Amino acid sequence: MKAHDNCIFCKIVAGQIPSRKVYEDDDMLAFHDIHPKAPVHFLIIPKAHVDSLDACGPEQGDVLAKMLLKAPQLARETGCGNGFRTVINTGPDGGQEVYHLHLHVMGGPRTEWKAALP
Ligand code: 5GP
Ligand code: ZN
C-alpha cells in the first residue's frame, strides 16, 4: 500500500503521527478528530490513499461500503446511542481540508453542535 507523500492521514495510518484510535482493520482506520465539533467526533478513512470522494472509482466501492457500514457500530461504541451525523467534505467548495478521503462521524447529546459542520 503506497503512502502519499506529505499526506497527514497516510502518516497516521503508518503510525508516524499519533492518533486516538477508534477502530482498525486491514482496509480502514477510525480515529478521533483532533478538533472535535461535537461531543463525539471521529473520522473513518481508507488505509489506501485516495484524495477525495471525487477521486473514487469502482475500485473504492468496497472500502466505501465498509466505511459507511461500520459507522453505526462505532458510533454506538463511542456513545452516540441516540443518533449521529455523517459528513464527507469534497473539494474546495465542499470545505475539504485534508486530501485523503475521510468520513466524519459526529454525535453526542443534542445541543448547538448540530448547527456546526466540520
Ligand atoms: P475536512 O475539512 O478535510 O473534511 O476535515 C479534516 C479534519 O481532520 C478536520 O476536522 C481536522 O480537525 C482533522 N484533522 C486534521 N489534522 C489532524 C490530525 O493530525 N489528527 C487528527 N486526529 N485529526 C486531524
Ligand atoms: Zn493519504
pLDDT per residue, tens digit, the chain (118 aa), is 567 889 999 999 999 999 999 999 999 999 999 999 999 999 999 999 999 999 999 999 999 999 999 999 999 999 998 999 999 999 999 999 999 999 999 998 876 666 667 7
Task: Give the integer Cα–Cα distance in Å for 9 and 114.
Answer: 25
Q: Tell me, what's the pLDDT at 5?
A: 84
State the closest ligand 1 atom to the C-alpha of 35, by its place in the atom list counted from 1. Answer: 12
Ordered by where they begin, the domains of the chain are 8-107 (3.30.428.10)
Tell me, what's the pLDDT at 62? 98
Which three cell numbers, joined as nine digits, stand for 112?
448547538
Which residues are within 8 A (CB) of 60 and not within 5 positions of it... i.e. 6 or more apart?
46, 50, 101
* Residues with a beta carbon under 5 angstroms from ion ligand 2: 4, 7, 9-10, 49, 100
53 lines ligand 1 (CB under 6 A): no
- Ligand 1 atom closest to residue 8's alpha carbon, by position in its atom list: 19
Residue 64, number of CB atoms within 10 A of its CB:
17
Instruction: Indicate which residues carry an active-site annotation.
Output: 102
Ligand closest in space to the Cα of 41: 1
Provide the pLDDT for residue 113: 65
